[in-house]
A and B are shown apart, each in its own frame.
Chain A
Amino acid sequence: MKRLTPYLLILPGGMWLLIFLVVPMVFMASVSTQEGDIVNGFVQTFNVSVYGEALAQYRTQFLRSVGYGLVATVVSVAMAYPMAYWIAFRGGARKSTYLLLVLLPFFVSFVLRTISWKFLLADDGLLLSPLKSTGLLPDDFHILQTTTAVIGGLVYNYLPFMILPIYVALERVDPRVIEAAQDLYASKREAFAKIVLPLSLPGVFAGVLMTFVPMTADYVNAGILGGPANTMIGNIIQIEYLTNQDYPVASALSFTLMAAMLIGIFAYARALGTENVLEAAAR
């Protein structure tokens, strides 16, 4: 019984993943190589050419998604790091209040929040119409349906997932270690660069993983805040599944996206794995 305990502990989660992740993925892989249509049904023909065709057709959206994901990730790090730093080192007794504020948006549904941004930022909405009527902005100025709007929406929606892991990493840095660096002739700037930053990099690493992947695959922000020129691969997959009902193409695109992400993340982990980063920082 004692020897079985660890396995019993992972059983519920393992079963969950098996049923709701592995099974659908196998099913999706199978669908991606089928041919046919929704009326006459799909038949398994092991047709792999659909991958090349779908990729060629939607190359622009693919690259755009990765580009948006990268830019949004960089912007998120730039915004999240100072916030996490401030909460961890200057938050004092109110740390948990500030963390709650960071998490507060989660109390409202993701889609609902994005839709309310659409109202706020609309061409004649609450923000822009007074500015336009007073002549501060030209009449044809708009925010929605631009790349900025989509990336802004991505950053807004995923920022807490970047703040939290960075905060946790910074919170674990022993303040006496920072004092030790200052005692050993490091200026405040050097103490940050040589001690705080390297020790918080695992948090940045985790934050990037937790935001880059869902941001690249996101379709809500592009769908609600973006225009036809901002379509991301997530939107294409959605359209292929739900509108065109071309299941093989949608499955092939999903699989390609997943594979690309996995390869990208492994490359990222290898290049910037925490150990390597720390080695470099120690010099």
Chain B
Amino acid sequence: MTEIQAGTEGAAGAAATAPAPDSPPVPAIELAGVVKEYLAHGEVVQAVKGITMTISEGEFFSLLGPSGCGKTTTMRMIAGFEDPSRGTVRLHGQDVTDVPPNKRDVNMVFQSYALFPHMNVWENVAFGLRRKKVAAAEIKRRVGEMLEIVDLTGREKRRPREMSGGQQQRVALARALVNNPRALLLDEPLGALDLKLRQAMQIELKRIQREVGITFVYVTHDQSEALTMSDRIAVMNDGLVEQLAAPREIYERPATAFVAGFIGTSNLLGGTVDRVASGCAVLRAGDEGRILVAGDAHRAGDDVTVTVRPEKITISAEEPGGEVSAVRGTVSEVVYLGLYNSYAVRLADGAEITVFQQNALDSTSTAERGEAVWLSWQPRHSYAIGS
């Protein structure tokens, strides 16, 4: 599978239909107090428990969460396939809560592509334009341009079943994008592809989004995918948004324990604030250890939970000096992962801390299994979270 080659004509065509620059900035998508309930075995189940958020024009926005968190239901309410039980959905300022999907100016890329099996590639891509009664000559031009963008020129006559997963994926993308929708909704579109192709497609999707300049709403359970591509991410759990922020913010400063655990590998440590000194709260950790948390949000006696990313931690044999967090433990596992080593270090209280150490030229910072070590990190890398 080759990467998609860019064709700039299509992007220019799409940009031409974007709203006039002097119109006031209206958010592309707004959800206000949206709740989705349904009846299962006589009981009311809340798939979405109340979501209010705003997605800006041209944004690459991800809904990230484990399966069953309500992210797909949320997207389906934006597309119009599900009616919210309560709340309002607005597209470009217009209340579309009761508008059927065929009357909404958004298009969707389905999880399993949902290509029309009895139509060839060209007919699949032309479907939406034909329904909109676009003139035949223009359909021909736009479908041709779009197939060029997704690198499927010459495969117009193929049936979906005669194509690879990656090609089907691109047909699905072209079929939605050719309509110049105001927003594109993507429901785990790369889930069925193998890792290499998925990574290539992530970059491609991001490029296409930049070129056509429309809002992308991307549903995924893959945190690295969301971090790679998104301008902003809404991390969802159990029908609610746990945190809505830029990828870096979500990774570095998770708002809840769920977000910390779901995004990347993260260590959770807890302790009671011993004293507050020079802009740092100092937590006692075991007999010899200390955890420093930057900021002045905590008072002595507070119970605080902090997260630390594995790559922020340094392993050393000697007790580190200076204003750093330092805890003592025993290496229980070392896994060589090429680019870095992953250490599991068990603390005296039984907690296990994961540490990533990059494999440098000199191997002074390596530790053996069973070795007693000190773990240390900067105060700003201890991030206190709400429980």
A residues whose Cβ falls under 8 Å from a Cβ of B: 174, 176-177, 179-187, 190, 194-195, 198-199, 278, 281-283
Contact = CB atoms under 8 A, between A and B. Distances in A.
A190 B131 contact: yes
A180 B132 contact: no
A199 B118 contact: yes
B112 interface: yes
B108 A180 contact: yes
Interface in B128-176: 128, 131-132, 175-176
Contact of A282 (B79, B120, B128, B176): B120
Contact of B110 (A176, A194, A278, A282): A176
Nearest to B79: A183
Contacts of A278: 118
Contacts of A180: 108, 110, 114-116, 175
B114 A176 contact: yes
Contact of B179 (A185, A195, A282): A185
Interface string B98-133: 001111000110111011111110010001100110
Contacts of B38: none
Contact of A174 (B107, B114, B132, B175): B114
Interface of B: 79, 81, 100-103, 107-108, 110-112, 114-120, 123, 127-128, 131-132, 175-176, 179
A283 B112 CA distance: 23
Given A176-B112, A282-B123, A183 B118 contact: no
5 contacts: A176-B111, A177-B116, A184-B176, A185-B103, A186-B131
Given A176-B110, A190-B131, A282-B123, A183 B116 contact: no
B291 to A, nearest CB: 49
A22 B120 CA distance: 42
A179 B109 CA distance: 11
A199 B116 CA distance: 9
A234 B380 CA distance: 92
A184 B175 contact: yes
Nearest to B105: A185
Contacts of B115: 177, 180
A179 B101 contact: yes
